[in-house]
Amino acid sequence: MATIERTWTHFPGRPYAQEELSAYLPSWLSGPKLALAQQLFRRSGVASRNLAAPPEELVTLGRSFAAKNDRYRAEIREMCGNIARGILEQTTHEERRSIDMLVTASCTGFQIPAMDTQLVSALGLRPTIRRVNLTQHGCSAGAAGVGLAHEWLAANSDKRALVVCAELCSLTFQMEDTTEENLVSAAIFGDGAAAVMLSGDQAAGRQNASGPKVRIRNTYREIFDGTEHFMGFEVNDAGLKIKLSRDVVPFCKDKLGAVLARACDKWCLPSPVALTLGAVHPGGRRILEVLEDDVGLPTSVTRTSWECLAQHGNLSSATVLVTLDRLLAERDKLEPGAFGLLSAFGPGFCAELGLLEVV
């Protein structure tokens, strides 16, 4: 099993209250669409979120894909630098040299080489490190990366793995797009980065750690046929155009209970009620309500998700790692033997799940 050793987060720009952002809606919309957007902002469950670019820049017509992507590349470099500084401050040289797998994800811009090259250099990671980039997993990439790291460490128990996600959702905003799906996107998405370091059972330095530990005990994933239209991006002259289908919520109400039941069966748990803590990607208020009301997840599992949604909004792939960071911040209060859920849903449509255990 892989132990979650440390987490790091970084949020660019400054936090904007939802009311502050709502004040910019009349410069974008009018009539019924303005009223709908104002309602979506009020009911989103988001109280604030960080934006790398100020709102007055985002609501400017004619911003090209190239200009947005140049800003994306510069901001990603800055965010990765901040994450790297945090890792350098809180890890030893021995721990960093034992990192033998680096998983990265960022779906809100385009660059080759990816940000993993910057992280390898900044952290002094071994040149033989395995690198995996999960860009097109979208919102599910953080959970998928943790799952891959866990499975890889099962066969390389003396090593460590690092998962880093950085997203600039605000830079994909298209003022030209006044569809309902873009109104929803404008109401919930924010910018941020997060990282998690995991270790195998025999990794050097593990014996010096004290207090309760959170481990990945097992994983589960499913991709659902005929759901490719649910979410993702289309590319047009203005950049990455959001796709968010109305079908997502009814599908989740109808299907996710059975998905969690199959996962629990694999994990030898009687039902989702056996889960008492969690790091669940808060795709939005309605998805969290479905997980509680229809799937049967206890509110103790979704608590960190509601907190993350309120304070930071939806950060795409990075969000599940931010909820994990909030969970580990209360590590001393966790009860050994407790089980939890790590989960995210993303383009495909797919589910990436992990079983957490406090030891």
Q: Mean pLDDT throughout 209-227?
A: 86
- pLDDT of residue 209 exceeding 80: no
Q: What is the pLDDT of residue 116?
A: 95
Sign of the Cα pseudo-torsion (109, 224, 153, 150, in order): positive
Q: What is the pLDDT of residue 282?
A: 85
Q: What is the pLDDT of residue 210?
A: 62
- pLDDT of residue 207 exceeding 60: no
- E strand or H helix at 91, and its extent? none
Distance CA 173, CA 63 (A): 10
What pLDDT, in 10s, does the model give residues 119-163? Answer: 999 999 999 999 999 988 889 999 999 999 999 999 999 999 999
- pLDDT of residue 211 exceeding 80: no
Q: What is the pLDDT of residue 275?
A: 93
- The CATH number corresponding to 2-207 among 3.40.47.10, 3.40.50.300, 3.20.20.70, 3.30.420.40 equals 3.40.47.10
Amino acid at 251: F
Count CA atoms within 13 Å of residue 300 on its CB side: 13
- pLDDT of residue 301 exceeding 60: yes
By C-alpha distance, which of 81, 77, 127 is closest to 106? Answer: 77
- pLDDT of residue 164 exceeding 60: yes
Give me the DSSP letters along 108-144: SS--SS-THHHHHHHHT--TT-EEEE-GGGGGGHHHH
Q: What is the pLDDT of residue 296?
A: 85
Distance CA 312, CA 322 (A): 9
- pLDDT of residue 240 exceeding 70: yes
2-207 against 209-358: fold identical: yes
Q: Mean pLDDT throughout 317-328?
A: 94
Mean pLDDT, the chain, whole residue set: 92
* Tokens read off for 46: 């988001």
* Tokens read off for 92: 């030893």
- E strand or H helix at 286, and its extent? helix 285-293
Distance CA 42, CA 76 (A): 30
DSSP 8-state assignment for residue 337: T
Q: Residue 200, exposed/middle/buried by CB under 10 A (0-12, 13-18, 19+)?
A: buried
Q: What is the pLDDT of residue 205?
A: 73
Question: Where are the domains positioned within the chain?
Answer: 2-207, 209-358
* Tokens read off for 62: 């004619």
Distance CA 85, CA 99 (A): 16
DSSP 8-state assignment for residue 265: H
Q: Which of 17-31, 236-250, 257-271 has the lowest mean pLDDT?
A: 236-250
Torsion of CA 74, 95, 132, 82, to 10 degrees: -10
* Tokens read off for 22: 């709502």
Q: Mean pLDDT throughout 208-231?
A: 85
Residues 6+ away with beta carbon under 8 Å from 237: 64, 65
Superfamily of domain 209-358: Thiolase/Chalcone synthase (3.40.47.10)
**Edge-to-edge strand ranges of the sheet holding 130-133:** 130-133, 99-105, 160-168, 191-199, 2-10, 214-223, 350-358, 339-346, 277-280
Q: Which of 102-106, 110-114, 215-219, 226-230 has the lowest mean pLDDT?
A: 226-230
Q: What is the pLDDT of residue 203?
A: 86
Q: What is the pLDDT of residue 59?
A: 82
